[in-house]
Structure 1
C-alpha cells in the first residue's frame, strides 16, 4: 500500500442550493482535481457521493497546497460557496478510479477527521504532522474570507508553477496592478511560502 492524503468532504449549506448551483460547485471541484493530478502525475480519483459529498486522493507532500486550491475552486462558483473536508494520511489501496471501493487507514482517518470537525472550521487533519496541523487553522481563516475574484486569482497563483500575472490579468480582463492587489489581499505570497516549506520538509523525509 502507498501513503496518501485522502480528502473526504461535503459542500457547506448544500440544501439551500439549486441542483444547477451544486453541479457548478462540483464542476469546479472536478477542474481542481484534474489540476492536482498534474502536480502529482497520478489521478486524484475524485469521487462524488451522497449528492453533496466527495473524496479525493492527493500525494502527501501536496496536502496543504491542494487544500487551498480546493477551497479556492469552490469559492469561484459563488460568493458564499464553500466546502469542508477532513484529511487522513496513511495507507490507501485503490480498486479502480472510484474511491468508494478503496480501503486503508488514510480513508478511515479522513472520515473521522470530517466527523470530528470543530464547528467553526472547514479543514481538519488531526492525525497529520505538527506543521500541517498548525498551518491549516490559519489558512482556514484566510480562505474563508476570499471573494470570488480573490479565489479566481488564488486558484491559479497557488499552483506549484503559477502563471505570470500578465497572462492572468488578460484571462480575467484585469490590470496587472489589480491582479497584484488580489494576490496581496488574499495572502497568496504568504500561503505559497508555507506550501513550499511543508513540501520541502515532506520531500526531505
Structure 2
C-alpha cells in the first residue's frame, strides 16, 4: 500500500463522438500525464468502460496542475471535447504490471464513487477543503476556454514553462496573440494560484 492520488473520469457526451474522436480524447488525457510524468512520481494510466479512464500518481504536489492540463489538452481538440475528473488521495496498491484496471484500495473506491455521484462541476476532489475550493474555481474558469486559449495555456502549464516568446513560436502564433489568449483565459491568476497550492505541499 502507498499514498496515491487517483483521477477517475469519463468523456462527456462520448456517444456523439466518432471512434477516432474518442480515441483522440483519451490520447490527450494520457498525453497530459506524460507531459508532467517526470514530476508526478510513479504514474500509471488506464482506459476502461469504453469512454472511461484513470490515472494514479504518487506525487500530490502537481495534482491540480494535471487536472488543468487535462482540461486544456481536451479543449484544444475542440469545444465538443470534455471530461469529468474525480480526484481522491489515500491508500492504494498498484499492480506489478502497472495496469490500473487491477488496482485496489480505498483511494480507488473513493475516486470512483465520487465520479458516480458527480453532478454540476466537472473537476472535483474528494477531500474538499482549500484544494477542493481551488479546483472548483479552476473548473469554472477553464470551462469557458476556447480551443485557441487552451492551446496557449498548454505549454505554460509545464512545471518549467517556456518563455512566452518560445511558447508562441511552438504553437505558431505571435507573442502578442499568445499574451492576449493567456490573459483572456485567466492564466495569470490560475498560475499564481497553482504556485501557492504547490508550495504548500
What secondary structure does 1:201 align onto? coil
Over 3 Å off, 4+ runs:
none
Do residues 171 (structure 1) and 174 (structure 2) align? no
Give ranges in structure 1 of 5+ residues lacking alignment: none
Structure 1 partner of 2:104: 103
Structure 2 partner of 1:116: 117
Structure 2 partner of 1:145: 144
- Give the 5 Å matches for 1:13-52: 13-42=13-42, 44-52=43-51
- Segment drifting more, 9-18 vs 130-139: 130-139
Give ranges in structure 2 of 5+ residues lacking alignment: none
What secondary structure does 1:26 align onto? helix
Mapped partners of 1:149, 1:20: distance in 2: 22
Mapped partners of 1:54, 1:103: distance in 2: 15
- Give the 5 Å matches for 1:15-94: 15-42=15-42, 44-58=43-57, 59-94=59-94
What secondary structure does 2:200 align onto? helix
CA contact (8 A) 2:36 2:159 kept: no
Q: Give the superposition deviation at 1:126.
A: 2.8
TM-score (norm 2): 0.94
Q: Give the superposition deviation at 1:141.
A: 0.8
Q: Pairwise CA RMSD of aligned residues?
A: 1.3
CA contact (8 A) 1:28 1:76 kept: no
Aligned length: 199
Do residues 158 (structure 1) and 157 (structure 2) align? yes
CA contact (8 A) 1:117 1:123 kept: no
What secondary structure does 2:158 align onto? coil
CA contact (8 A) 2:9 2:115 kept: yes
Do residues 10 (structure 1) and 10 (structure 2) align? yes
- Give the 5 Å matches for 1:182-197: 182-197=181-196
CA contact (8 A) 2:68 2:138 kept: yes
